[in-house]
Structure 1
Amino acid sequence: MIDYGLADKVALVTGASGGIGRAAALAFSRSGASVLVSDVNEEGGRETVSLIEKAGGKAVWQRCDVSRGDEVKAMVAAAVAAFGRLDCAFNNAGINSIAANEYEDEVWARSLSINLTGVMLCMREEAEVMLAQGGGAIVNTASINGLVGNPSQPGYTATKHGVVGLTRHGALRWAKAGIRVNAVCPGVIETPMTAPLIANPQMKQVIEGMTPMGRMGKAEEIAEAVVWLCSDASAFVTGHPLVIDGGATAI
């Protein structure tokens, strides 16, 4: 893994109890950053903290439901209280209502509150700290479904399109203040979220067949891109939805 030179930096990761979020928290730590680990899953989140500490890194745990403004404010404050500043933020928490009818009122509202409102609330609080300290980098988790259509997931697709829009908004709003805002747009990645899909060998084969590279992505491959987007190696990159999909949207 590449060291992106984040020594003395502080990173915040939501949805960090597993999957892409955990992989990103570990990648931030390997590059030298202290990490605020957040999720609604306390057991998984504390396990992520333990993995970082066992590897010699620094991390703290803070539970946060990103759909609640008070909890988001407390999460960002906890990062500053623990480490003194906030340099990098990865707004990764989200849900995918694969088995549900997203046109149902409750399912639609939950998708919207977590996937879209949650990103907005995080950006708002993170930017306030970064503006006061003179800069920072924010990365949001969108999806290839934030760039193309999907006939079966209206809520997920709409919210991820919204995340791309919020990302571009933030990039323009804070560009001159030294805050860069980007998004990652993963294809189908092997994570706990996609486990129900790939549990069926035939479905897994179909998904792999839809990807020109012939396989699903790994959480660590998304994490590397996230840390790069938060590092000085991407100093002139902002407002960009970075597609990481094995060529799926190139078809």
Structure 2
Amino acid sequence: MAGAVFRLPGVAYITGAGGTGIGAAVAKAFARSGCSRIAITDINKKSLESTRDAILEINPRAQITSRDGDISDEGFVDSLVAGISKSFARLDYAVNCAGILGENLRSHETKTSAFDLITKVNYKGTWLSSRAALSQMLQQQPLSEHPRQRGAVVNIASQLGVVARPNAAAYCASKSAIINMTRSDAIDYSQDEIRVNCVCPGVIETPMTTGSEEVTERLKPAIDIAPMRRMGTPEEIADAVLFLCSPQASFIQGHALVVDGGYTIN
């Protein structure tokens, strides 16, 4: 069960938190780890409500800020994080999970609008959300439980930010951008006692990867290549995220933690 090992007081903020994907698993893992003030967002209002209900089942006394919207919209993101600051007066953990996959096309077949959408959601959306969180973290002092950490940001990239695969140039580029953005921010905010890392999941069993027969078939070769020969679970990614947010990871900075069943080594 994700989140049972770490004790994480304070305030957590998770994007892409609707439904049964990585973001929802991360939000529930924070609740299991003693984090009772949680802010969640997703573009799908109904699925976001299901995550809110799941958090309250874990901790009926949890304080939850839940707001649906588009994380590639600067005004929405800034307003959301300002609301978190107003409600909770701080922000200790920001986990940027929102992302989209895109179509299975080579570059000459890909429309500019499709490229722009992937880049806008995956890269720009992560940057906007991370930027807003960092701005809030700079205004606060570390928790007594985390005396060397003013805040922790974890961005969700992908194994395809480390290695490439056919017919996914825009997606691979967007996830690679997140990895190097993470590294640059890690350098910039070390002096402020803010840690910035990312997780690079392999093929994870989520609605995005199992929602259609075409996508499932597209991802099958990646599963077959990985030595563990299976999809990962959202909870396995949540465990990695919570570790990077925890005091146990206090000297880990600018790292891209690959959680892919061995895909990138094979």
TM-score, normalising length: structure 2? 0.89
CA separation in 2, counterparts of 1:107 and 1:230? 33
**How many residues align structurally?**
250
CA separation in 2, counterparts of 1:195 and 1:160? 20
Q: Which residue of 2 aligns with 1:130?
A: 137
CA separation in 1, counterparts of 2:246 and 2:201? 19
CA deviation after TM superposition for structure 1 residue 78, in Å: 1.9
- Partner of residue 74 from structure 1, selected from 79, 95, 105: 79
TM-score, normalising length: structure 1? 0.94
1:161-220 deviation digits (Å, cap 9, x = unpaired): 100011001100000101100000001000011014667886675443221012110000
Q: Which residue of 2 aligns with 1:45?
A: 48
Residue correspondence of structure 1 range 3-18 to structure 2 within 5 A: 3-7=5-9, 9-18=10-19
Give 3-state SS (helix, strand or coil) of 2:167's partner: coil
1:74-113 deviation digits (Å, cap 9, x = unpaired): 1111222222210000011111003466631100001111
Q: Which residue of 2 aligns with 1:31?
A: 33
After superposing the two structures, state which structure 1 stretch, 206-215 or 179-188, moved more.
206-215
1:44-75 deviation digits (Å, cap 9, x = unpaired): 01110111012213322012311111100011
* 8 Å Cα contact 2:209/2:216 also seen in 1: no
* 8 Å Cα contact 1:139/1:230 also seen in 2: yes
Q: Which residue of 2 aligns with 1:89?
A: 94
CA separation in 1, counterparts of 2:87 and 2:237? 26
Q: Which residue of 1 aligns with 2:192?
A: 177
Q: Which residue of 2 aligns with 1:187?
A: 202
User: Percent same amino acid at aligned positions?
Assistant: 38
Residue correspondence of structure 1 range 1-251 to structure 2 within 5 A: 1=1, 2-7=4-9, 9-18=10-19, 19-33=21-35, 34-56=37-59, 57-99=62-104, 103-134=110-141, 135-196=150-211, 206-251=221-266
* 8 Å Cα contact 1:181/1:239 also seen in 2: yes
Q: Which residue of 1 aligns with 2:147?
A: none
Change in CA separation of 1:200 and 1:161 when aligned onto 2, cut-off 3 Å: closer
Change in CA separation of 1:100 and 1:250 when aligned onto 2, cut-off 3 Å: closer
CA separation in 1, counterparts of 2:130 and 2:236? 24
CA separation in 2, counterparts of 1:36 and 1:83? 10
CA separation in 2, counterparts of 1:207 and 1:246? 10
The AA in structure 1 aligned to 2:120 is S
Structure 2 regions of 5+ residues with no counterpart?
A: 142-149
Structure 1 regions of 5+ residues with no counterpart?
A: none
Q: Tell me how large the CA RMSD over aligned residues is.
A: 1.8
Give 3-state SS (helix, strand or coil) of 2:258's partner: strand
CA separation in 1, counterparts of 2:75 and 2:210? 31
